[in-house]
Homo-oligomer: A and B are copies of this chain.
Amino acid sequence: MAKDAHFLGIDLGGTNIQAGIYKAEKKIDRKNLVVRDGTKTKAEGGSEAVLERIEKLCLKLIEKAGLKPGDIAGLGIGAPGAIDIDKGMVLRAPNLGWDDFPLCKKLGERLPFKVTVDNDVNVGAWGEYMAGAGRGHRDLMAIFVGTGVGAGLVIHGKLYHGVRFTAGEIGHTVVQGNGLLGRRTVEDLASRTSMVRRLVRLIESYHKSSVPKMVDGDLSKVRSKILAQAQQEGDALTLQIIADAADYIGIAIANAVTLMSLPCVVVGGGATEALGEDWMKQVREAFKKNVFPSELKDTKIVASELEDDAGVIGAALLAVERLG
C-alpha cells in the first residue's frame, strides 16, 4: 500500500448517504477520518440519480480534503440488503428498491477508483472490529438496535457472509417460541420500533406515563430520544418497556455467544446510543443470566465506540483491506 493512501468510505442508507475520507496509516485510528459529509439518498428518484448523488458527494469530499481523484486508492461502500460481495452486486435492497444491481461496476464507471461493497451492518461491524470497541478480538459480533435489529459477524479476522450473503440476521431469530401472543422474534420484542409501539399501545389503553406530556399529546413523535428522556425522568412505564427489550437483546446475544463461543459483542445502533449505559447494564445482566457455559460470562459486551461513524470508517477500512 502506498504511504498515506486515502480511501473513501460510504454508508448508503435508505434515507441518508454518509461519506468520509480515511487516511490509511499503519496505526488504525478513527482520527484518520480526515473529512466527513452527507446528503439525502432520495431513493425514489431511481438508481442513476442515487449514483449521481454519491459521485457528487465523493468529489466534494476529495476537494474538501485538498486531494485529487487520483489520490484516492479505493472506495468502500456499505449498502442495505443482501450483497453478493464477490460480484459487487446488490441482490435485494428493499429500502432502495434495488434488485440485482451491479453497484461496484456502476460506481466504477463514474469514478476513477476501484470499488468494493458489503452489507451496511457488516460494514459497521468491520469498523468496530478494526477501529472501535471490538479491537483486539479475532472473532466478534456487532449488533445494532434501531428501527430493526441486525448484526455483523467477524470470524477468524474476516467478515462472515454465509451461503446467501445474509449472515447476521439476528433480529429475525425466534426467542419466544410459543407465547401468549404467538411466535416472536428479537425484532418483534426489542427493536426501537417495537418499544415505541408497545409504549404507545399501553398509553392508549390508559397506562400512566409522562411521555404524552413530552410530545404534546402527539404519540407519533415518540422516537429514541423521547424514550431516553422518559428513561432519565424515571417514567415507570418506559423503564419497564426498556428493561423488557434489554432482556430480549441479552437473550439474543447469549444465544449467539452460546452457539459460536464468541469473545466479544459490540452493541450499537440508535436505540443503544440514546439509552446509554443504563441500557447496556441491563443487556449485560440478561446476557450473563442466559449464556452457556458459565466461562462465557467473561465475553466482553461493549457499547459501540464509533457510533455514527462506524459505517463510514468500516467502509473505508474494508476498501483498505480489499483494495489497498
Residues of A within 8 A of B (CB): 82, 139, 151, 153, 155-156, 160-170, 172-179, 183, 185, 189, 247-248, 251, 254-256, 258-263, 290, 292-293, 295-296, 299
Contact = CB atoms under 8 A, between A and B. Distances in A.
A173 B255 contact: yes
Contacts of A175: 174-175, 177
Residue among A153, A177, A260 with most chain B CB within 10 A: A177
Contacts of A179: 176-179
List of 7 A-B pairs having minimum Cβ-Cβ separation, nearest first: A162-B261, A172-B292, A163-B263, A167-B261, A173-B255, A166-B261, A175-B177
A290 B183 contact: yes
B261 A161 contact: yes
11 contacts: A153-B260, A155-B155, A167-B260, A169-B292, A172-B258, A173-B259, A174-B255, A176-B178, A177-B248, A185-B292, A260-B260
Contacts of A185: 292
Nearest to A247: B177
Nearest to A173: B255
A284 to B, nearest CB: 16
A256 B259 CA distance: 8
At the interface, is chain A mostly helix, strand, loop or mixed?
mixed
A282 B155 CA distance: 32
A139 B162 contact: yes
Contacts of A165: 261
B251 A169 contact: no
A160 to B, nearest CB: 7
Given A162-B260, A163-B263, 14 more contacts: A82-B293, A164-B261, A164-B293, A166-B261, A167-B261, A168-B259, A169-B258, A169-B261, A174-B254, A175-B175, A176-B176, A176-B177, A176-B178, A177-B247
Nearest to A167: B261
A239 to B, nearest CB: 17
A263 B167 CA distance: 11
Contact of A293 (B151, B166, B290, B296): B166
Contact of A261 (B156, B163, B247, B293): B163
Nearest to A141: B259
A164 B299 CA distance: 10
Nearest to A289: B183
A293 B148 CA distance: 14
Nearest to A161: B261
